[in-house]
Amino acid sequence: MASIPSQLDDEVSLRLRIDALNANYVHTIDDDRLEDWPNFFTADGEYSISTRENHEMGLPICLVQCKGTGMFRDRITALRQANIYEPHTYCHSVSALHISSRSQGVIATKSNFTLVRTMSEGEMMLFAAGRYVDKIVDYNGELKFAERRVILESRRIDTLLVIPI
């Protein structure tokens, strides 16, 4: 797997490395390689899914919140072993990468995504749209998420939400 040389650490390559990170992240989910999902985060990394409404009203509740590798792994174990749901797949689009700031090795970025969900009989729908609000760090040459906050445009979830976004 050819990755962008990390020493070439200027804005140009940084942007491309983050593009590659985002691409790699969504393919890992869309290909159902969910056991690799926790590895995109630092050991004490945080992931949450909330709504624009809660976000703008300053309300703390998230639909999903994982803090630290253990909770990430528990999510996947539950998805694989405990929870019941109709088989379905995701297809992410991710675009509009914006690098908001860089300081003390933490890169703050924002991107938009749309997510198409497909059920096993073929029913396809726009399941979610929103933005990724991220804090990214370089972890010996590899970019990881110290924080990835998923802010959904809509408060509505169709049926259920089991696969991470």
Partner 1 sequence: MDTIDRGNYPDFVWPYEDTSRVPFQVYTDEELYRVEQKKVFQGNVWNFLCLESEIPEPGDYKTTYAGDTPIIVVRDEAGDINAMVNRCAHKGSLVCYKPRGNVKELACVYHNWVYDLRGNLTAVAFRRGVGGKGGLTDEFKNSEHGLQRLRVEVFRGLVFGTFSEKTEPLADYLGDELVSAVDRVLIKPLKVLGYYSQIFKNNWKLYVENNKDSYHASLLHVFHNTFGVVRPNMGGGIKISDSGWHHLSYTERTDISDDEIVKENVRSKQDAYSLEDPTLMEHKLELGDNVTNNIQTIFPTLVIQQILNCLAVRQLIPKGVNESELIWTILGFEDDDEEMIQHRVATNNLVGPAGFISMEDGAVGAWVQRAAKSDREALTVMPMGGRAIEPSQGSRVTEAAVRGFWKGWRECMEI
Contacting positions for a copy of itself (CB under 8 A): 1-5, 8, 10-16, 19-20, 22-24, 26-27, 30, 52, 89, 91-102, 110-114, 116, 118, 121-126, 129-131, 153-156
Residue 69 binding result from a copy of itself, partner 1, none, given CB thresholds of 5 to 8 Å by partner type: partner 1
Q: What is 54-100 written as a DSSP string?
A: HHHHT----SEEEESHHHHHHHHHIIIII-----EEEEEEEEEEEEE
CA distances in angstroms from 62 to 17, 66, 72, 79, 111, listed in the order given: 29, 10, 15, 18, 19
Pair 47, 72: CB distance under 8 Å: yes
Q: Does 158 bind partner 1 (CB under 8 A)?
A: yes
2, 104, 122, 140: which one contacts partner 1 (CB under 8 A)? 122
Q: Report DSSP state, residue 39.
A: G
Shortest Cβ 33–a copy of itself spacing (Å): 12
List residues binding partner 1 (CB under 8 A).
Answer: 49-51, 53-54, 59-65, 67-71, 73-74, 77-78, 81-87, 120-122, 155-162
